[in-house]
Amino acid sequence: MPVVTPEPDLKQLEPKVRVENLNFWYGATQALHGITMDIPARQVTALIGPSGCGKSTFLRTLNRMNDLIDETRLEGKVLIHEEDIYADRVDVVALRKRVGMVFQKSNPFPKTIFDNVAYGPRIHGVRNQEKLAEIVERSLIRAALWDEVKDRLHISALELSGGQQQRLCIARALAVDPEILLMDEPASALDPRSTARIEDLIGELRRLYTIIIVTHNMQQASRVSNVTAFFYEGRLVEYGPTKRIFTQPRKKQTEDYITGRFG
């Protein structure tokens, strides 16, 4: 097997997140092994791989959500703008404001649509009602939900359909003005039409944010992303431009996975 040559176009992109030799353990079980990758700014990076290969774990190391799980351990470095987010003096709360997250199962708060989107800005000190209303409107427009809910901002978010709830969660994440948006299989629980809407939305958002999306759907990865990372058993097997990964995978495992021979 030939040595992987560096990807010229990936190298040229400005890196937003640099991961260096990242190892992660749940108790005594190692879930991530020596991950090293530069994630480019203002691109959509897809993380693919069979279930249980560590995609979610990796994603959650980027906003330190794994800190919430007892008895976990991390080695290596995660740099955002060259700043190690696991350094001692890092403010986790400020980090999570910069690195937004959308979860696999949409989790709207049992509050009104308005209060859902305004939750983050309020936490971060925005009190002015006009300013809040402006943020809510802008976030809902960006999440392509505004037209559907503008007349009923004060109904419970739980009355929305599944697809609308997930877009609301995206709007809620955008409302705190993050630089990076992490999405963990954001469309896996949705019907095809809602999925298509979310995919279109990701296409729109790529211009403004650095997006990292986990998906187990090959078509989705090839449709929405321009960079793809293939994970297998906690290791980064192959990483490169999406088109190249899907047309000329260099590793046999990648090819087997993409062509549906396992996973």
- Binding residues for other proteins (CB under 8 A): 63, 65, 68, 70, 93-97, 100-101, 103, 105, 107, 109-110, 119-120, 123-124, 158, 169, 172-173, 176
Of 52 and 203, CB closest to ligand ADP: 52
By DSSP bridging, strand 235-241 and strand 227-232 are antiparallel
The minimum distance between CB 210 and ligand ADP, in angstroms, equals 20
CA distance 114 to 256: 46
Q: What angle do CA 235, 240, 241 make, to 5 degrees?
A: 145
Q: Candidates 35, 38, 53, 56: give the one binding Mg ion (CB under 5 A).
A: 56
Residue 123 contact among other proteins, Mg ion, ligand ADP, none, beta carbon within 5 to 8 Å by kind: other proteins
Rounded to an integer, what distance in angstroms lies between the CA atom of residue 52 and that of residue 59? 13
Residue whose CB is less far from ligand ADP, 132 or 229 = 229
Sign (positive/negative) of CA torsion 92, 97, 103, 108? positive
Question: Least distance (Å) from ligand ADP to the CB of residue 194?
Answer: 21
Binder of residue 25, out of Mg ion, other proteins, ligand ADP, none (CB less than 5 to 8 A by kind): none
Cα 107 from Cα 19, distance rounded (Å):
28
Alpha helices, DSSP H, located in 107-211: 113-123, 129-142, 146-149, 162-174, 192-205
With contact defined as beta carbons under 8 Å apart, do 211 and 142 qualify?
no
53 binds, among Mg ion, ligand ADP, other proteins, none (CB under 5 to 8 A by kind): ligand ADP
d(CA 208, CA 54): 27
For the CB of residue 161, give the shortest distance to ligand ADP in the complex, in Å.
Answer: 25
The footprint of Mg ion (CB under 5 A) covers 56
Contacts to ligand ADP by CB under 6 A: 26, 31, 49, 51-57, 69
